[in-house]
Amino acid sequence: MPQPSTRFVHLPDLDITTGIDVCRTFPRHIHESFCIGLVERGARTVTTPHEEIRIEPGELFVLNPQQPHACAITGTNTFYRVISIKPEVMRSFVASLDETASALPVFTAIRVVNDPLAAVIRQLCDLAERDHDPVERERLLAHLLTELIAHYSDYATDRPCPAVPDSAIQPARDYIQACYAQKLNLDDLAQTCHLSPYHFQRVFVEHMGLSPHDYLMHTRIRHSKSLLRQGMPLADVAQDVGFVDQSHFTHSFKRIVGLTPGYFARQQQ
């Protein structure tokens, strides 16, 4: 049986993840970036709080930042590619199209069927993996984003992205982002929002699609990726981002990312 393989390419304007022979289920989670994926072989089922969408070979999937979802990769000989674009990169691109624009686009359809855009993603990923022809790579990325925004988003410069959480829980999100490496508890987070712990938990899940604890874990894992890319030892990374030990860090990392932190770190070399 083929061994699962996941490759990562980290560039200033985007990240690319390529998975081959990966079959697994990722529990509900969020991404900090826009994710634009292409299923080459196998299938991917994306489950949001409102619907379940099956992505077949040759089809794209698009996810907004902070959009809660679970996904399952199924089939034999699976192969997928995912392009991740940070909100600040997307905002800069939108401003290049319309200098009066102030809001991020909101992609309204997770499943996208568009053969020409699938071909663009293939070319873009191939160039990025070879670290070849950055000018052509940037042209392809601009074309991909222009087409997706024009045809698959509900873009409006005067309306904020609905994925942005309600202001009632923003203080807690800010607190988690600033203090993720500390030992946080529900009472402390609830106090930042002047809510009871029970009410805070309910409101947070309602707006984020994740519990405060899961959001904290995702924040820690996101920061751990950056440290692993810098070559920091696993034990030091675990301590720096707030895990009690390396074992707990490894378990949480694999649950969220689908890989062990050691494997992820080796892929960055």
pLDDT tens-digit readout, 161-190: 444 446 789 999 999 999 999 988 888 899
CA distance from start to end of the chain:
26
Angle between helices 87-97 and 134-152 (to 10 degrees): 80
Domain ranges for the chain: 5-152, 170-267
CA distance 152 to 107: 6
67 burial via Cβ count (<10 Å: 0-12, 13-18, 19+) = buried
Q: For residue range 227-268, list pLDDT tens digits in order.
A: 999 999 999 999 999 998 999 999 999 989 988 999 999 987
Percent of the chain with pLDDT over 90: 63
Q: Is the pLDDT of residue 12 over 80?
A: yes
Q: Is 201 within 8 Å of 210 (Cβ atoms)?
A: no
CATH topology of domain 5-152: Jelly Rolls (2.60.120)
Q: Is the pLDDT of residue 131 over 90?
A: no
Cα–Cα distances (Å) from 106 to 47, 109, 154, 184, in that order, read: 18, 9, 5, 32
Q: Quick one: DSSP state of residue 163? A: T
Is the model more confident about 112 or about 134? 112
Whole-model pTM over 0.85: no
Is the model more confident about 199 or about 181? 181
CATH topology of domain 170-267: Arc Repressor Mutant, subunit A (1.10.10)
Mean confidence (pLDDT) of the chain: 89
Q: Is 167 within 8 Å of 40 (Cβ atoms)?
A: no
